[in-house]
Amino acid sequence: MTSYDYYSIAYGALATVSLSLISIVLGVPLGLGLALVRWSRLPVFNQLTIAYVSIVRTCPTVTLALLIFYALPVVGISMEPVSAGILTLTLSTAAFNTEIWRNALVNFPQDQYDAALSFGMNRNLRFRRIILPHISRTSLPALVSEMTLQVKSTPAVAIIGIVEITRAAIRVGARTYEPLPPFIFALVLYSLIVLAFVKTQRAVERRFAPPGDH
């Protein structure tokens, strides 16, 4: 392997991580929005969200990517691979995030809510000043843990031709006729990235562990 090969795999790793991060940045607030739809029991939208979460949660990321990339054009929505990849990853992580946020909302302590009401806060203010800070804290460990899983499933988008770490390694292997070294390098490199997430996850878990739990 030449230094260019190493570089191209590292570049692929960067592409993968960028895709992950974009989907996380989009997926966390989307999850919150959908959790609010569930929480407020908006008719129709509530049922749609339930269906979306149930189906996407159980759908392999590879399959979802194929569906979005190949099937959506049939109904008139066609996308570049990269946009399709981001949409796939975002929809997939948002399904899990919806459940995490909803869980936090359901467990929001009633007395804090009543206190906010008694101070005459309006709905918007109540949410921004009282509920959101609280549920952000309680959801954080689960959200970070989902981010780690998300980073690990991102290579799935290789299936629709995005040149990320997997494809970069395949290309190098095909050129050098030695497929193993580029994969070992890719694996080590990517593991280090995931390790960073895992370490963050453990730190967050320790910092935000519920009382009495250690």
Partner 1 sequence: MNEFALVWEHRDMILIGFQNTLLIVVLGTVGSLVLGVLLTIPLMSRRRGPALIGTIYVDAMRCVPFLLFAYLLYFALPSLGLDFDNWWTGVVALILYNGAYMAELFRGAWANLPKELIEAGQAYGFTGWVLLRRIILPPVIFAAIPLVGNQLIQIVKDSAFLTIIAVAELTHEATSLQTTYFVPFASFLAVVFLYWLTCLSIESTVGYANRLAEVRR
| Residues binding partner 1 (CB under 8 A) | 54-55, 57-64, 66-67, 70-71, 73-75, 151-156, 158-159, 165-166, 169-170, 173, 179-180, 183-184, 186-187, 190-192, 194-195, 198
Spatial distance between the Cα atoms of 70 and 6, rounded to a whole number of angstroms: 32
Min dist CB 137 to partner 1, Å, is 23
Residue whose CB is less far from partner 1, 36 or 62: 62
Q: Looking up tokens 């070992």, which residue turns up?
A: 184
Residue whose CB is less far from partner 1, 57 or 129: 57
Residue whose CB is less far from partner 1, 19 or 131: 19
Min dist CB 152 to partner 1, Å, is 4
Min dist CB 112 to partner 1, Å, is 29
Spatial distance between the Cα atoms of 149 and 210, rounded to a whole number of angstroms: 22
